[in-house]
């Protein structure tokens, strides 16, 4: 079973900030939160990841709550090209053996409206 819960779909107006929530209430202390997105019929693309601090890169910002049970991916100025399925994933760091594969849930279909 996926370790995360995301809304099935969301709409956002072009030019606005898109805020995508993710619940991961069973996350353990050393599991990271990763975000990927998949544009139709293409391979998923890495966006950002974090452990406990908020993170920002050229694509997005990641806000992780203090208890780490939920997070929000923020696309600050959404464009039509940001329409995609967004996946939130939690995973352990590499431990030299016995680690899990990278497991995806169903994600959130974000639709940017013109």
Which position among 43, 76, 79, 111 is part of the footprint of another protein (CB under 8 A)?
Answer: 43
Q: C-alpha angle with apex 2: 25 to 30, nearest 5 degrees?
A: 50
Which part of the chain contacts another protein (CB under 8 A), choosing from 14-22, 53-61, 66-74, 90-98?
90-98
Residues 38, 104: Cα–Cα separation, whole Å: 11
User: How far is Cα 2 from Cα 97, in angstroms, rounded to an integer?
Assistant: 21
| Cα 88 to Cα 3: distance, rounded to the nearest angstrom | 9
Of residues 23, 44, 52, 74, which one binds another protein by CB under 8 A? 44
Residue 61 engages another protein in binding (rule: CB under 8 A): no
Site for another protein, rule CB under 8 A: 2, 32, 34, 36, 41-46, 49, 85, 87, 91-95, 97, 99-107
């Amino acid at each position: 079973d996926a370790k995360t819960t995301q809304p099935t779909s969301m709409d956002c107006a072009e030019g606005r900030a898109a805020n995508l929530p993710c619940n991961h209430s069973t996350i353990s202390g050393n599991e990271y939160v990763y975000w990927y997105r998949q544009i139709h019929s293409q391979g998923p693309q890495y966006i950002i990841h974090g452990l406990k601090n908020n993170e920002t890169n050229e694509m997005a910002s990641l806000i992780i709550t203090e208890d780490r049970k939920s997070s929000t991916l923020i696309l600050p100025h959404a464009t039509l090209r940001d329409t995609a399925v967004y996946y939130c994933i939690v995973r352990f760091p590499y431990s030299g053996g016995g680690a899990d594969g990278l497991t995806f849930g169903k994600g959130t279909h974000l639709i940017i409206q013109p």
